[in-house]
Amino acid sequence: MPRTAVVTGASSGIGAATARHLVAAGLDVVLGARREERLAEVAAECEEQRPGSARWHRLDVTDPDSVTTFVENLDEVHVLVNNAGGALGVDPVERLDEDGWRWMYEANVLGLARMTAALLPRLEASGDGHVVNIVSIAGFDPYPGGGGYVAAKHAARGVTGVLRHELLGRPVRVTEVDPGLVETEFSVVRLGEDDANEKVYAGMTPLSADDVADVVRFAVTRPSHVNLDRIVLQPRDQASAQHVHRRDG
């Protein structure tokens, strides 16, 4: 029987790409996100790749009841990809938006922790569990205007590191994936501008969602005794959060 992977934030971007890559690698997937119509579309794409490989349920990781309902629909789970999260705004700390910071902490930190805690019994019972947390270089590389997002991703890295220690000796691997600039809906949502991607990625070539998903696929298909603790990937045009090479014109 194929292993089963749960992917959060799976309605678009890295989550959707990860679902497709895992199905291609022979895993079945259970997809969760808030946007049900788009979630159903991603699941249908996976089903086209391999019939019977995908199903979905609505999931809001910031809502404990939603997490509970989602998990109740699951049986055996081998892999959890905590991808749900995001950023809001670029205001400096002195003009912090507390509601925005609170949402970022809920989505990027507590949501990750909720899903992991809820699924750990199933992951461990599988005999070969794997938690993959999609974090960010923002988790170790601060930058002006990052405020709440940088703080949340630092916390997400902290949770991931603690989890790796707590699960030592148990059959569950923990992998942290830290992407740099990736062209998805991330900047559009963060800035609230339809043309945000044109501005953020002007003059450089960012990573794609498939680039990140390919790394996740590699991590979860290693032999069960091999744990990739932390994977950092950035575009060739990026050296750090603040150092990006942009071509003129």
Domain ranges of the chain: 4-244
List pLDDT tens digits, range 60-116.
999 999 999 999 999 999 999 999 999 999 999 999 999 999 999 999 999 999 999
Q: Which segments of 50-110 does DSSP mark as H helices, in order?
A: 64-72, 98-105
Cα 174 from Cα 176, distance rounded (Å): 7
Percent of the chain with pLDDT over 90: 91
* Closest CA relative to residue 105, chosen from 92, 93, 87: 87
| Encoded amino acid at 14, one letter | I
CATH superfamily of the 4-244 domain: NAD(P)-binding Rossmann-like Domain (3.40.50.720)
Angle at 175 between CA 36 and CA 51, to 5 degrees: 40
Give SS3 for 28: strand
State the catalytic residue, choosing from 105, 143, 149, 201.
149
For the chain, the straight-line distance linking the first and the last C-alpha, in angstroms and rounded, comes to: 52
Which two structure tokens, joined as six digits, stand for 197? Answer: 């991607």
In the residue annotation, 149 being an active-site residue is answered as yes
List pLDDT tens digits, range 120-153.
999 999 999 999 999 999 999 999 999 999 999 9
| Encoded amino acid at 242, one letter | Q
| Encoded amino acid at 128, one letter | D
Cα 224 from Cα 102, distance rounded (Å): 37
Contacts of 223 (CB under 8 A, 6+ apart): none
Q: Please give the model's pTM, rounded to 2 decimal places.
A: 0.95
| Encoded amino acid at 23, one letter | V
